[in-house]
Structure 1
Amino acid sequence: MKIKNILPLILFLLSFSFYGQKTDEKREKIKAFKVSFLTTELELTSTEAEKFWPIYNAYDDKQFELRHLKMKTYLRKLDDDNINSITEKEAVTLLSQMESTDKELYLLKEKYMSNLKKILSAKKILKLRKSEDDINRKLLQQYRDKAKDKD
C-alpha cells in the first residue's frame, strides 16, 4: 500500500484516539469533582469511606456503561431519519433492547441501595442522593455556561 493511501487512515485513527482521550479526561475530571464533593458533603468516617468508595465506583462505572454506551447506541437509531426508515420488526427489537437496559439499570440501582444500607445510615444515603443531584445541577450549569461563552 502506498503512503498516500495510508496517511489519511493514520490521521483518522489518531484523531479518533485523541477524541477518546479527551472524553476520558473529561470523565476523570468529573469523577474527581464527585469524589471531592461527596467526601465533603457526606462526612464519611474512614471505615465508611473504605467500604463506600468501591461500591460507589463500581456502581458509577456500570451505570455509565449502561446509560452512555448502550443507550447512546439506541438513541442514534432513533433520530428522525432512522426512525422513519426502520421496519416494525426492527422497532420491536430496539424497544426490547431499551427495556432490557432499563431493567438492568433498575436492578443495578436496587443492588447498589441494598449494599449502601449495609454501610451507611439512612440519613447519609439521603444526603448522598441530594449531593448527587447537586453535582448534576452544577455540572449542567457549567455546561450551559460554556455553551453561552461559545455563542
Structure 2
Amino acid sequence: MNTRKLITLFLMLLSLTLCAQGENMKEKKEQIRGLKVAFFTTELNFTNSEAEKFWPLYNTFDDNQFELRHQKMRAFSKRMNDGSLDKISEKEAMQFLAQIEDTEEELFLLRKKFMQNVKTILPAVKIVKLKKAEEDFNRKLLQQYRNKGSKK
C-alpha cells in the first residue's frame, strides 16, 4: 500500500475515531495540533516570520481538510459501522463510491490551493520537508495509536 493511501486511510480512521468520541473530539484535535506544531517546528526550523505566516494558513487548511472528511464521510462511516454494508445495493455502493471520489477530488484541490499559498511563504526546500514532516508525523501518530491499543 503506498504512503498516500496509508495516510488517507489513517486520516479517515482518525476522523471516525474522533467523531465517535463526541465531546473529546475538540480536546483530542487540539492535543494533536499541539504535537504537530512542536514536531513541524523542530523538523522545519521556521524563522519567526515564516512561522507567523505559515501557522494560520496551515491551521485553516487542516481544519478545512478535517471538516471535509468528517462531513462528507459521515453517511459512509455510519453504514460501515452499523453492519448494513453487507446488505448494500449496487446502486447505493455506486453512490458511495461517487461520494468518496468527489471527496478525494475536493481534498486534492484543497491541498493544491494550500501548496500555492504556502509557496509565497516558504522556500521550496521547506515545502518538500513539510510534506515529509506530515508523513512522518502521521506515521508516528499511527504507531502511538497502535501501541496504546495493544496495551489495553
TM superposition score category, shorter chain reference: 0.7 to 0.9
After TM superposition, give the deviation of residue 72 of structure 1 in Å. 4.3
Which protein is bigger by CA-based radius of gyration? 1
Q: What RMSD over aligned residues (CA atoms) do the two structures have, in Å? A: 1.9
Q: Deviations over 1:17-73 (max 9, x none)?
A: xx4222221111100010111112111112211211111001101111122342243
For 1:22, the equivalent position in structure 2 comes to 24
Stretches of structure 2 lacking an aligned partner (at least 5 in a row): 1-20
* Count of residue correspondences: 132
Structure 1 residue ranges (4+ consecutive) displaced by more than 3 angstroms after TM superposition: 78-81
**Percent of aligned pairs with the same residue?**
54
- Aligned counterpart in structure 2 of residue 50 of structure 1, from 37, 49, 52: 52
Stretches of structure 1 lacking an aligned partner (at least 5 in a row): 1-18
For 2:147, the equivalent position in structure 1 comes to 145
- In 1, Cα distance between equivalents of 2:131 and 2:37: 14
Q: Given the two structures, how large is their TM-score scaled by the length of structure 2?
A: 0.77
After TM superposition, give the deviation of residue 79 of structure 1 in Å. 5.7
**Counterpart of 1:42 in structure 2: which amino acid?**
L
Matched position secondary structure for 1:67: helix
- In 2, Cα distance between equivalents of 1:79 and 1:45: 45
Matched position secondary structure for 1:118: coil
For 1:100, the equivalent position in structure 2 comes to 102
- In 1, Cα distance between equivalents of 2:77 and 2:85: 10
